[in-house]
Amino acid sequence: MTSSMRVAMLCILCVTGPSWGLEFGGQDLKARAQADACYLIFVDLYRATYYASSRGDTGCVELEYRRSFSREELAQATSRVYKDLYGDLQHAADAANLQLLVQSYRSVVPGDRYRFCASPVHGGELLRDDEPVRRIDDRGFARRLLGIWVADAQVNGAVKWNFEACSKRAF
């Protein structure tokens, strides 16, 4: 392989590879952790990548889906997990915000991506394949919504996920 072919291949990989950084709310965010979410240990649902600012106060979670889900399935899962995490009272208090959010959902197929970002200054934003879908002004709701996927994130990059990660062991 000639050196010009190597350079061309490297450029292609850089353009098509995963994004390890992004910007939200005027802050640069870096990828801090990645995990695959599974159901029943081996049914791969999505790959989650968590991005955070250097201070850790602003974060995004990007979900790259591994299987198809209808809009209704996504909406039901969001509502169910939100209620399980925050209880009936908080779920009821945030019902209007949740309704606006899930109305923005569209069905997904493998490879589709949703990203949700939250900032204590700028609130939240839902993006689909890098296109803005829904802005969330309620900062508390935005932070709780991010908590559906990220239970705890440390400034050092350690992340505790709020979903069951796939087992990497072979049976």
Smallest CA-to-CA distance from 166 within 34, 69, 51, 2 is with 34
pLDDT of residue 62: 97
Q: How many CA atoms lie within 13 A of 124 on its CB side?
A: 24
Amino acid occupying residue 88? D
pLDDT value at residue 77: 94
Q: How far is CA 165 from each of CA 38, 46, 49, 85, 93, rounded to the nearest angstrom?
A: 6, 10, 12, 17, 30
How far is Cα 71 from Cα 126, in angstroms, rounded to an integer? 15
Report the distance separating Cα 125 and Cα 60, nearest Å. 9
Helix (H) or strand (E) holding 84: helix 71-93
pLDDT at 53 over 60: yes
Q: Which three-class secondary structure string do you get for 121-159?
A: CCEEEEEECCEEEEEECCHHHHHHHHCCCEEEECCCCCE
**What is the rounded distance in angstroms from the CA atom of residue 71 to the CA atom of residue 169?**
32
Asked if pLDDT for residue 34 goes beyond 90, the answer is yes
pLDDT of residue 157: 63
Q: 19 falls in which pLDDT band (50, 70, 90)?
A: low
Highest mean pLDDT of the ranges 12-21, 36-45, 133-142, 161-170? 133-142
Verdict on whether the full-model pTM lies above 0.75: yes
CB atoms closer than 10 angstroms to residue 29: 22
pLDDT beyond 90 at 156: no
Among residues of the chain, what percentage have pLDDT more than 90? 65
Q: Class for domain 19-68+108-161, per CATH?
A: alpha beta
Region 53-66: what's the mean pLDDT?
Answer: 92
Indicate the pairing of strand 150-153 with strand 131-136.
unpaired
Residue-wise pLDDT tens digits, 85-116: 999 999 999 999 999 999 999 999 999 999 99
pLDDT at 43 > cutoff 70: yes
pLDDT for the residue 169? 42
